[in-house]
């Protein structure tokens, strides 16, 4: 449970110019029990996977969950390591850089054979790579044609970001997503937060749709993506016992959550070098995978 004063300490560190991750790590580390060095604790919490793991633990406790957490040490390559480590170990960041620079074969030593086969297929079909600049034209169009009074309703547009976004667009050295992210980034606005905001902007996700109250309503349906023979038997049972609709064909169901899924797929498909209507609306056309 969060001790009294933690949020005030985080706010104070933010006012001093710290990023939110650094402010949280520092405030939490200041509460470390006797014998624990606060600087060491802050460094530990400052590592992305450790911070994520901590918040998983907090969520499990709040939910009184029966899930028993298990930790695994990260070895060989740090979270944001830009180059592969020894022993054919590479971070996701390093693998992405290799793919962007030289294609699938460059990443071959660091990914499973099944993954490499998928990468080769997607490159060959011109469905990869998909990166931020593939979304530049629609994203910059939306950002440039929305007033600040409209932007403020988009999820993750907080603390005056709507005004900063409008001002920044006119001062970009070039019309690119990378230039926009670099210009918007501050200690308060981390790159991760800004990327989430741009994704919400691209997909028109409003604060109302992403509010805690709306999210607390939970899912409206169960979407089946694939199954084997055992799963097929389970699906027959679920048709009679499931408390939510079980979807095999999205075309037979209508709900706002499903519409958001379909819109996201269409936006992603349009960022591919080669796409067609069937790929844009694959949610309608493609049946669940049978194994």
CA-to-CA separations, 273 to 124, 276, 277, 286, in angstroms, rounded: 11, 10, 13, 21
Contact in structure between 95 and 115 (CB atoms under 8 Å): no
d(CA 276, CA 89): 37
The per-residue pLDDT string of the chain (291 residues; one tens digit each, 9 = 90 and over) reads 778 889 999 999 888 888 777 888 888 888 877 767 878 888 888 887 888 898 899 999 999 999 999 988 888 888 778 888 777 889 999 999 999 999 999 999 999 999 999 999 999 999 999 999 999 999 999 999 999 999 999 999 998 999 999 999 999 999 999 999 999 998 778 898 999 999 999 999 999 999 999 988 999 999 999 999 999 999 999 989 999 999 998 888 999 999 999 999 999 999 999 999 999 999 888 889 999
| SS3 assignment, position 155 | coil
Residue with token string 């080669």? 274
Which distant-in-sequence residues (6+ apart) come within 8 Å of 221 by Cβ? 244, 245, 246, 247, 253, 255, 257, 258
Q: How far is CA 256 from CA 202, 205, 214, 247, in A?
A: 17, 11, 11, 14
Q: Is 252 left (phi over 0), alpha (psi -120 to 50) or beta?
A: alpha
Q: For 141-187, write each residue's pLDDT tens digit.
A: 999 999 999 999 999 999 899 999 999 999 999 999 999 999 999 87
Q: Is the pTM of this model over 0.85?
A: no
The single residue listed with the structure tokens 């988009």 is 154
Go through 94-119 and write b for each residue having 16 or more CB atoms within 10 A of its CB, e for each that does not. bbebbbeeeebeebeebbeeeebeeb
Alpha carbons 266 and 219: distance in angstroms, whole number: 21
pLDDT at 225: 93
Classify burial at 24, counting beta carbons within 10 Å of its beta carbon; exposed 0-12, middle 13-18, buried 19 or more.
Answer: buried
Identify the CA nearest to 128 among candidates 287, 268, 261: 268
């Amino acid at each position: 449970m969060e001790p009294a004063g933690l949020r005030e300490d985080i706010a104070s560190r933010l006012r001093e110019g710290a990023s939110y991750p650094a402010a949280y790590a520092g405030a939490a580390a200041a509460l470390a029990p006797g014998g624990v060095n606060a600087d060491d604790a802050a460094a530990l919490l400052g590592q992305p996977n450790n911070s994520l793991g901590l918040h998983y633990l907090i969520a499990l406790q709040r939910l009184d969950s029966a899930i028993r957490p298990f930790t695994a040490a990260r070895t060989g390559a740090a979270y944001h390591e830009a180059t592969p480590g020894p022993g054919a170990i590479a971070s996701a960041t390093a693998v992405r850089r290799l793919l962007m620079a030289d294609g699938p074969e460059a990443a071959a030593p660091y990914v499973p054979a099944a993954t490499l086969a998928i990468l080769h297929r997607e490159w060959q079909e011109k469905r990869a790579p998909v990166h931020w600049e593939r979304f530049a034209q629609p994203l910059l169009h939306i950002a440039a044609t929305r007033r600040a009074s409209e932007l403020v309703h988009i999820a993750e547009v907080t603390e005056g970001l709507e005004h900063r976004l409008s001002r920044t667009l006119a001062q970009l050295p070039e019309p690119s997503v990378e230039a926009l992210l670099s210009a918007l980034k501050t200690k308060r606005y981390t790159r991760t937060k800004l990327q989430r905001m741009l994704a919400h902007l691209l997909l028109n996700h409003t604060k109302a749709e992403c509010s805690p109250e709306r999210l607390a309503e939970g899912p409206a349906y169960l979407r089946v993506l694939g199954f084997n023979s055992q799963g097929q038997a389970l699906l027959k049972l679920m048709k009679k016992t499931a408390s939510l609709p079980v979807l095999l064909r999205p075309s037979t169901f209508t709900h706002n959550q499903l519409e958001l899924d379909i819109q996201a797929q269409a936006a992603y498909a349009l960022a591919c070098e080669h796409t067609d209507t069937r790929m844009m609306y694959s949610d309608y056309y493609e049946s669940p995978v049978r194994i």
